[in-house]
Amino acid sequence: MELLNDEEVNNIIKQYGNLKVLDYTISKYSDLFIGSLGDHFKLIVTVDDNGVQDKYNFFVKTMPNNQWVAEYLRKSNYFRREYTMLRDLFAEFDRNGGSKWRPRCIFVKEDVFVFEDAKELGYQMAGEGQGGILSHKQMLAAVTTLARFHARSFIYEEKKSLELKRSYRIWEDFSELLHQPPDHSWRNTGRNAVIEFLKVHSKRKNEPDFSKNVTELLTSLFDDALEFIKPSTKYRNTVIHRDLWCNNILIKSDNEQCHALIVDFQTVLYGVPTLDLSSLIYFNTTKEFRDKFHDEMLDIYYEELSHEVGRELNIDFSTIVSKATFLGSYEECVIFGMIQAAILVPITAMKVERKNELYRTPESGHRINNVSRSKEIIEAANEDAAYCSRITELFEEIVDKYYIPC
């Protein structure tokens, strides 16, 4: 399959000036696991710049070559969703300016997206080599960038409302794509793994009726969390990412400072922005970190959101969302972040070698994502004490917060 033709490569390079394309190559981006819902390539273009030869590097994301996975993505609208966001809504966000929150999208067509190669700019996947745990500086950067991403929705809606002389919401034009697909098999797979793990490792496992009670509790909490992924009638909504694990956060460190970019927008929804904030925190930190820095993360997020929206619209953001309303929204949505983390962290926290083996083929990846992962998670915990501690403390935090023994 030809990913890009000569004309498309020439159009990409035209964005960098009057350069002549001499040659280009497309190769696999990495042997490491980056994500299961796309294939990833490196585009290297050799150009002539007034007699001087130079190279331009790009990151390319495509519809998977595996037909089974590609068909799944088409049915779920995941790829079409990201395509539409990049082509239409995010392009409008960029026209409004603002601080950088994602890699620049250079070219987009239905099954192929071309971005600047953030690795060439000094970025790397957050938590790489750290078991998916972000440092304090990395979390500050990620929270700041998340606020900038959410700010684009507020700014776009406010400007559109002024233009139309009525209240406007993004849901009007993008509701077809910005809703949760009906297939919840991956959530059920994650829920069942949490239940089976707690039966083996929970500090309460020997309490009377614990197995029955924890099954009922987790089933109820997972069902409750599903209700949050609809646009709220109580709080302002934004476009939310919903999948802010370490591979979808790129970090660049300069002189003790960090800057973050967010990538991979296949799973975006229109919902309460604190769903993203709670997910980001619980995906990428330990309980010790949350006990110490949780309130700081909330303050940093609200301050940056207020600054970004206020600077561009020349208004006091608290007139749109007050700090008290924001905190109330977070407290209601925190269960969503905890549940999302309970689904995802058992995979992201695994050692790279084990994770690569689980996703060795699309079929094995599908089984882990949508059929069963309980055995694999319990085996990994039995072999790796640090991994066992990481996911046990997360699962026990949910139990401690919501479990009431009969």
* Tens-place pLDDT, residues 236-251: 999 999 999 998 999 9
Classify residue 20: in a domain, yes or no.
Answer: yes
Calpha distance 173→175 (Å, rounded): 6
Q: Which residues contact 134 (CB under 8 A, 6 or more apart)?
A: 126, 127, 142, 246, 249, 251, 284, 285
> CA distances (Å), 200 to each of 78, 206, 390, in order?
35, 10, 15
Could you tell me the two tokens for 209? 């009726």
Per-residue DSSP letters for 284-319? H--HHHHHHHHHHHHHHHHHHHHHHHHHHHTS-GGG
- Residue tagged 């980001």 (tokens): 280
Could you tell me the two tokens for 176? 């077809």
Three-class DSSP category at 349: coil
Pair 217, 402: CB distance under 8 Å:
yes
Three-class DSSP category at 36: coil
Classify residue 395: in a domain, yes or no.
Answer: no
Q: Which amino acid makes up residue 193?
A: A
Give the range of the structural domain holding residue 35, as residue numbers without chain letter.
6-180+229-349
Pair 368, 376: CB distance under 8 Å:
yes
Calpha distance 13→45 (Å, rounded): 8
- Tally of domains within the chain: 1
Q: Which residues contact 82 (CB under 8 A, 6 or more apart)?
A: 113, 264, 265, 266, 268
pLDDT at 128: 62
Classify residue 403: in a domain, yes or no.
Answer: no
Classify residue 284: in a domain, yes or no.
Answer: yes
pLDDT at 318: 97
> Secondary structure of the chain: what % helix, strand, coil (to 5)?
55, 15, 30
Q: Which residues contact 269 (CB under 8 A, 6 or more apart)?
A: 178, 179, 180, 229, 239, 240, 242
Which regions in the chain score pLDDT beneath 50?
Answer: 406
| Helix (H) / strand (E) containing 127 | none
DSSP 8-state assignment for residue 111: T
Could you tell me the two tokens for 197? 């793990």
pLDDT at 406: 47
Calpha distance 49→51 (Å, rounded): 5
- Quickly count: other Cβ atoms within 10 Å of residue 371's Cβ: 12
Least Cα distance to 262 among 56, 136, 85, 30 occurs for 85
Classify residue 312: in a domain, yes or no.
Answer: yes
